[in-house]
Chains A and B, each alone.
Chain A
Amino acid sequence: MDAQPIISIQHLSKTYHSKSGEVHALQDIGLDILPGQIFGIIGMSGAGKSTLVRCMNFLEKPTQGTVLFDGVDLSSMNARQLNETRRSMGMIFQQFNLLMQRTALQNICFPLEISGVGREAARARAKELLQIVDLSDKADSFPSQLSGGQKQRIAIARALATSPKVLLCDEATSALDPTTTRSILSLLRDINRRLGITIIVITHEMAVIEEICTHVAIIAESRIAECGTVQEIFTHPKTAAAQKLVFHNAGDVERSVGKRALRVVFDGTASSEPVIAGMVLEFKAPVNIMFADTRAMDGRAFGQMVLQMPEDTGVAEKMKYYLTTHGLHVEEVQYHV
């Protein structure tokens, strides 16, 4: 991995001055995002993640630190160069932010118009993009006639119009229902694969990160708490902030678990054989599934489970060994009853 980062952030801080004093929205952020990654940035609301994504295209100017896009410092650019650079960075938003008085097609033409592309060429390009987002039949519809998912597809097409290298997604699925969210995420994954566009995903939902991201940074209290591949963070969260996000769903259950419980993580590397059932048959001792959140993707299992182990420590140890040898990550859950 010696490719040059497409976006490199170094020692970035953002401070707001308000009547009640200084607010440190971001402190000493460092990030390298490599071409082709789907990079997730997750944090609780108010953690500063939306500010961070706006620093990447200088909609917000950092108080300190540098942002390099393709090796060039954004703060060294004049207004014209910055506008030029922004055309290499598409952005989509939670509320879609479409022009309400323009049709879907005209919305997609908008970024082309402002960068001086001729009317006919712009329309041709817009029609191509409508095909990519699978909404060719809605070319002449106005945003008020479209559903949330359709609006976001138009917004994605609009963001892709100027053939950007990077797509910034600010809570792009947070206003959508779960089914629509999944279809938008798979569209993003598709765009990443087919067009090779680097995607940066801002979200507060761990499920979004698990679903499409290759890498993730966790922001807590204006700082980066943890950063790495999704697999790493998901299987071995080190910091409290990361654990809180990864265990988010399991949290309540774990507190009620008995003396000995294991958290079993399916990270997609294990084969699809029924491991838990196999283990129960092998040792002829039941385990209690306290919590399970798993799903199959491309025929492999992802997710986590909390198992209450048998009283017999010998059997429990053997079971733990069995799970480990079947390629699962296992850890003792430390919560008290």
Chain B
Amino acid sequence: MFDSATWLMLAGGLRDTLYMTLASTAMAYLLGLPLGLLLIVSDKAGIHPMPVLNSVLGVVINLLRSVPFLILLIWVMPVTRAVVGTTIGPSATVVPLVIAAAPFIARLVESSIKEVDPGVVEAAQSMGATNAQIVCKVLLPEAKPSLIVGSAIAVTTILGYSAMAGIVGGGGLGDIAIRFGYYRYQNDIMMITVVILVLVVQVLQEVGMRIATSSDRRKN
């Protein structure tokens, strides 16, 4: 169907897409996980209520989440240039991806940890656990299966965002789809990138769910 140069290009696109997705997911978790924990801990029913901080944090997260990704992508270009030195290519795309994904991940983490039975936290407190011990030894381990499900959702969402970055030369499969499929009307290339993206999403989602299920001690 395609010549070998096209296949090579597609393979490179897949590599770039995976690089952007996984690198941004990892970095977004470095920000989003502590933010999500802070939301839980500072909640008025949390283990260290800080109502003002909690509402400020909530508003900032909502604001960031309500900006459409395409607009955020353009807005943060000065930041991207300052950090990476360029606004095009896979590495440049990682910056807006992290900024967009971190608040989303904070909410995912928050909802996962909210599932932990407050009674278990109370039991830990009755045993003299410090707040740091409650976070590290109760909240995170007890929420682990749900956190893994959340990360599968996060990584597939970020994959979708990364394709969007193709419109401003972000690299990866989305970029190929825009340049060849849209600007040069090569529908077959458009189609094949979509098929590859679908397959990648399927694989990531399935792997995430399997790890989550097999790590959950409530079921097996």
> A residues touching B (Cβ–Cβ < 8 Å)?
57, 59, 79, 82-87, 89-91, 93, 95, 97-103, 110-111, 113-115, 142-144, 155, 158-159, 162, 168
Contact = CB atoms under 8 A, between A and B. Distances in A.
Contact of B126 (A57, A142, A144): A57
A151 B204 CA distance: 36
A36 B37 CA distance: 42
A99 B142 CA distance: 7
Contacts of A111: 127-128
A98 B120 contact: yes
Given A113-B137, A114-B137, A144-B219, A97 B117 contact: yes
Given A99-B142, A100-B142, A101-B217, A59 B127 contact: no
A100 B127 contact: no
A159 B127 CA distance: 8
12 contacts: A79-B130, A82-B128, A83-B130, A84-B128, A87-B127, A91-B126, A93-B119, A95-B117, A101-B141, A103-B217, A111-B128, A114-B127
Nearest to B132: A114
B137 to A, nearest CB: 7
Contact of B128 (A86, A93, A144): A86
B138 A99 contact: yes
B123 interface: yes
A162 to B, nearest CB: 7
A97 B137 contact: no
Interface residues of B, number: 23
B117 A162 contact: no
Max chain B Cβ within 10 angstroms of own Cβ: one of A86, A89, A114, A144:
A114
Contacts of B127: 86-87, 90-91, 110-111, 114, 158-159, 162
Contacts of B133: 114
User: Main secondary structure on chain A at its contact with chain B?
Assistant: mixed
A89 B127 CA distance: 8
A100 B218 contact: yes
Contacts of A158: 127
B141 A99 contact: yes
B128 A91 contact: no
Given A95-B119, A97-B117, A86 B126 contact: yes
Contact of A83 (B120, B123, B129, B138): B129
Given A97-B122, A101-B216, A162-B128, 15 more contacts: A59-B126, A83-B130, A84-B128, A87-B127, A87-B128, A91-B126, A91-B127, A95-B119, A98-B120, A100-B120, A101-B145, A110-B127, A111-B127, A114-B133, A115-B128
Nearest to B133: A114
B133 to A, nearest CB: 5
User: Main secondary structure on chain B at its contact with chain A?
Assistant: helix
Interface of B: 117, 119-120, 122-130, 133, 137-138, 141-142, 144-145, 216-219
Contacts of B217: 100-103, 142-144
A100 B65 CA distance: 33
B120 A99 contact: yes
Given A100-B218, A144-B219, A59 B137 contact: no
Given A57-B126, A87-B128, A101-B144, A144 B120 contact: no
A95 B120 CA distance: 9
A93 B117 CA distance: 13
Contacts of A168: 126
B160 to A, nearest CB: 31
A119 B106 CA distance: 33
A115 B84 CA distance: 46
Contacts of B128: 82-87, 111, 114-115, 162
A82 B130 CA distance: 10
A294 B1 CA distance: 89
Contacts of A99: 120, 138, 141-142
Contacts of A79: 130
For the complex of A and B, list the 9 residue pairs with the smallest distance between their C-beta atoms, beginning with the closest: A83-B128, A86-B128, A97-B123, A91-B126, A97-B119, A111-B127, A142-B217, A87-B128, A114-B129
Nearest to A92: B123
A101 B220 CA distance: 11
A57 B126 CA distance: 7
Nearest to A95: B119
Contacts of B122: 59, 93, 97
Contacts of A93: 119, 122-123
Contacts of B120: 97-100
A95 to B, nearest CB: 5
A91 B126 CA distance: 6
Contacts of B145: 101
Contact of A114 (B124, B141, B216): B124
A278 to B, nearest CB: 51
A280 B120 CA distance: 57
B153 to A, nearest CB: 20
A99 B123 CA distance: 9
